[in-house]
Structure 1
Amino acid sequence: MTRVRGAHVLFLNWRDTGHPEGGGSEVYLERVAAELIDIGHHVTILCQAYGTAPAEETNADGVRIIRRGGRHTVYLRAALVYLLGVLGFGPLSRRRLAPHGLGRPDVVVDVCNGMPFLSRLYVRRRPVIALVHHVHREQWPVVFGPRVARIGWWIESVLAVRVYRDCRYVTVSETSRNELAGLGVDPRRISIVHNGTPEACGAPVARTPYPSLVVLGRLVPHKRVEFALRATALLATEMPDLRLVVAGQGWWDEPLRTLADDLCINDHVEFAGFITEERKHELLGSSWLLLQPSLKEGWGLTIVEAGSRGTPSVAFRSAGGVADAMSDGETGVLVADEYEFFKAVRSLLLDAARRTAMGANAATHAQRFTWEKAGAAFSQVITGRLEAGQPTLTDQRAP
C-alpha cells in the first residue's frame, strides 16, 4: 500500500528564501513545506547553490534543503542528484537525498518558474506534481532577447505541457488556472492552493504624517518599479512632501537609481535595499499605499501582506494573480495602463476617507488566507495523487 501520511515529498525549485533573488514563490514553497511537516509528511527541497550557503541543511521548520548547481545548471544537477540518490551510489547517496531514512521520495513536486525541471522525464515510478505560480508569456521578452525569449516560451508553453501531460498541476489563483488551461492543460487536473498571509510582526505603527508610498519586491525589469518612480515625479509637483520607499534588491537596482536621478526625485525616494521582516511590516503599516506595478504575478503576496496592516494597494488588472489577491474597488484599485496607475494613486492619496475604508476592507480580506489552509489543501493534492496512482480530477481548493 502506498504510504500517504508521512510521505516523503521532494520539491525541485531553482531558489530558496535565503537566495539574494528569492521572492514570493520561495516564501510560498517553504511555508507550505513547513505545514506539510506539521501534518506529518517529510520534505526535502532541492535548489541552486549560492554564496556561502551550506550544501545541505535542515531549517528551523524541519525542512531539509539540498543546494546544487547554479542559476542555469541547477536543472541538470537536480536530475543527477535524484538519479544518484535513488540508485544509492556515489557521494550523493540515498541517505543524503532522503535524510529521514525513507528511501526514495514518494512524490516529486516540480516547481516551474518559467523554466521547468522536466522531472517527469527521469522520475519514472513516482508521481510528479507540477507547481506553476503563473504563466510567463509576457516576461520572457522583457528579461531576455527575442531569440532566447522564443525558446523559453516554447519550452514553457509547448514542451512542458507535453512532458507533464499525465501530471497533476497546482497553481495559486484562478487567473493562473485559466492561463494554464489556455495552454492546453485540462482544467480538471489543476488544483488551486492559495498563498497564506504572512503573520504581521512587530507592534502596530502610525501612518506617516506625510503622503507615503512603498514598493516591495525584487528589483528586476518585469516588476516595473519605473512606473512608481514616474508617478512619484509627477505627484511630487503637487505634494512636495511625498515620499516613496523602494524596498528590495536585485540586478536592476542601478538603472532604477539612474532613473530617479534623471527625474530629479532623489529627495523623494529611498532605496532601502534588503529589509528585515520587522522593517517590512513597519513600512507596510506606516505607508499610505502599496504600489504593485509588476507586469505579472502568480498571486500578489505583498498585496495581502499590506492588507493585513490595513494598507490598500494599486496594481495592474493584466498582472495575473493580483486580481485574485485583491477585491477591486474594495481593498485596492486595479488599473489598465500607466496613466490610470498615476490617476488611481493620486486619487487615493487625496481621499483619506476612501483610503481608510479600503484599508479596513483589506485587513478583513487578508484574514481569509492562512498557511494552515494552504498546507492542508496541498496535502490533499499529495494524498489524492498517491492514493490514485494517476492524476485526480477533483479540484482541491484552499477555502
Structure 2
Amino acid sequence: ILAINWRCIKNPEMGGAEIHFQEIFKRIVAKGHSVTLTSHKFDGAPETENIDGIDIIRIGNKYLFDQQFKKFYLSQLKNQNFDLVVDDISKIPLKTPKYINKPIIGILHHIHGNSLYKEVPFPIAYYVARKEKQIPKYYNETPIFTVSNSTKSELVKLGFDESKTGILYNAIDQDLFDNIKVEKSDTPLISYVGRIKNYKNIDQIIHAVSILIQTIPDLKFLIGGKGDNLENLKKKVSDLNLNKNIEFIGYLSEEKKAEILGKSWLFVTMAEKEGWGITVIEANAM
C-alpha cells in the first residue's frame, strides 16, 4: 500500500488527521500488509523512518508538496509494485488519479472552506479554497471516505457522486481512557486540548471566561496543546487580567490529556471547522 499525507505523525503541525491515519495503518501493518507513507519534510526529521511498521519517506516541503510528490512518484515510485494507493486529501488536492494508474481510495477529514481565511493571507486562502472545490473534478471515479456525515454532505454539495462516498469514523484508544481513574476537580474546571490555531476560536472561550468569573470567581480554564496562535492568546489572557483563571499547560501526553479531561467539569471546542474532532470523543469517554 502506498499512502500519501502532507504530514506524518511526527510532524510538529500534525493533528487529528495524522492520528487517524497512524492508528488505522499500523493495524493494517499488524495484519501482515506493507505500508509506505510519503509526506513532506520538516526540520530535524530524517528522510526515511519506520514508525509502527510504516515506512515513511519525507520529500520536499509543506508549500509545494503537491507538485513535489507528483515528480517523486513518476521518477521513483511509479514502477514499484503497489496494489493500492491511499490519498489522504487535505488542503490542495494531489490529483493522484490523473497520473497514478493503480487503484486509489481517498480519505477526507473536512472541507476547509472559509476557515482558510483565518489562517493564511487572502491570496493563499483563495487559491486553496478554489482547489478544494475541484475535488470532484480530479477524483470523480475515486471512492472517498470521510470521517463524518457533515463532511460527506459538504463533499456531495461540491458535486461529488454520493454513491462513491463512505464514512471511516474517528476513534479513540478506549483501553487508555478506561484505565485513567480521576475525580472531577473540587472547583469548576473547563478545558480545551488540541492545536492552538486561529480557526479554533479559543479566543472566544477566553472572552466567555472573562464574563463567567464575575459570578464564578474560582473558575479555571486549562488550555492544552501547541500552535502558531499561542502567543496571541497568552497576550489576550494577560490583557484581560485572567492569568489566575486561565493556564496554558502545553503539549500533553495521552495519559495527561485523559487525566485533564477526567477532572474537567466541561470540555469546550469552538473550532470554525472540524470533520469530527477526536477530542470530543475523548472528553465524552471521561
Q: TM-score range by the shorter chain?
A: over 0.9
Equivalent in 16, 22, 47 of residue 14 of structure 2: 22
Distance (Å, rounded) in 2 between the aligned partners of 1:129 and 1:85: 21
Residue 144 of structure 1 is matched in structure 2 by 120
Secondary structure of 1:72's aligned partner: coil
1:150 is displaced (CA, Å) by 2.1
1:127 is displaced (CA, Å) by 1.7
Distance (Å, rounded) in 2 between the aligned partners of 1:69 and 1:62: 23
| Larger mean Cα displacement after TM superposition, 64-73 or 38-47 | 38-47
Confirm or deny that 1:113 pairs with 2:90.
yes
1:116 is displaced (CA, Å) by 1.5
Residue 42 of structure 1 is matched in structure 2 by 34
Q: Give the alignment of 1:331-346 within 5 angstroms.
A: none
Residue 303 of structure 1 is matched in structure 2 by 280
Confirm or deny that 1:75 pairs with 2:51.
no
| Larger mean Cα displacement after TM superposition, 77-86 or 111-120 | 77-86
1:296 is displaced (CA, Å) by 0.7
1:73 is displaced (CA, Å) by 2.4
Distance (Å, rounded) in 2 between the aligned partners of 1:283 and 1:168: 38
Distance (Å, rounded) in 2 between the aligned partners of 1:65 and 1:288: 40
Secondary structure of 1:80's aligned partner: helix
Equivalent in 182, 185, 209 of residue 186 of structure 2: 209
- Per-residue CA deviation, residues 197-228 of structure 1 (Å, 9 max, x unaligned), is 22325531111111001111111111111111
1:149 is displaced (CA, Å) by 2.2
For the Cα contact (< 8 Å) 1:14–1:71, is it kept in 2? yes
Q: Which amino acid aligns with 2:223?
A: V
| Larger mean Cα displacement after TM superposition, 294-303 or 64-73 | 64-73
Residue 142 of structure 2 is matched in structure 1 by 167
Secondary structure of 1:292's aligned partner: coil
| Larger mean Cα displacement after TM superposition, 187-196 or 62-71 | 62-71
Q: How many corresponding residue pairs?
A: 284
Distance (Å, rounded) in 1 between the aligned partners of 2:217 and 2:9: 37
Residue 109 of structure 2 is matched in structure 1 by 133
Secondary structure of 1:26's aligned partner: helix
Q: Which amino acid aligns with 2:72?
A: V
Residue 197 of structure 1 is matched in structure 2 by 172
Equivalent in 142, 149, 157 of residue 133 of structure 2: 157
1:87 is displaced (CA, Å) by 5.2
Distance (Å, rounded) in 2 between the aligned partners of 1:198 and 1:43: 22
For the Cα contact (< 8 Å) 1:169–1:191, is it kept in 2? yes
Distance (Å, rounded) in 1 between the aligned partners of 2:56 and 2:95: 20
TM-score by length of 1: 0.69
Distance (Å, rounded) in 2 between the aligned partners of 1:273 and 1:241: 22
For the Cα contact (< 8 Å) 1:111–1:117, is it kept in 2? no
For the Cα contact (< 8 Å) 1:11–1:44, is it kept in 2? yes
Over 4 Å off, 4+ runs = none
Residue 278 of structure 1 is matched in structure 2 by 255
Secondary structure of 2:11's aligned partner: coil
1:286 is displaced (CA, Å) by 0.8
Equivalent in 290, 293, 318 of residue 270 of structure 2: 293
Confirm or deny that 1:176 pairs with 2:176.
no
1:264 is displaced (CA, Å) by 1.2
Secondary structure of 2:8's aligned partner: coil
1:64 is displaced (CA, Å) by 1.1
For the Cα contact (< 8 Å) 2:180–2:255, is it kept in 1? no
Secondary structure of 1:144's aligned partner: coil
For the Cα contact (< 8 Å) 1:56–1:67, is it kept in 2? yes
- Per-residue CA deviation, residues 60-97 of structure 1 (Å, 9 max, x unaligned), is x2111111122112222322332222356xxxxxxxxx
Distance (Å, rounded) in 1 between the aligned partners of 2:144 and 2:98: 16
CA gap of 1:127–1:87, structure 2 versus 1, over 3 A, is: closer
Q: Which amino acid aligns with 1:20?
A: P
Confirm or deny that 1:62 pairs with 2:53.
yes
Q: Give the alignment of 1:242-281 within 5 angstroms.
A: 242-281=219-258
* Long gaps (5+) in structure 2: none
Secondary structure of 2:2's aligned partner: strand
Q: Which amino acid aligns with 1:49?
A: K
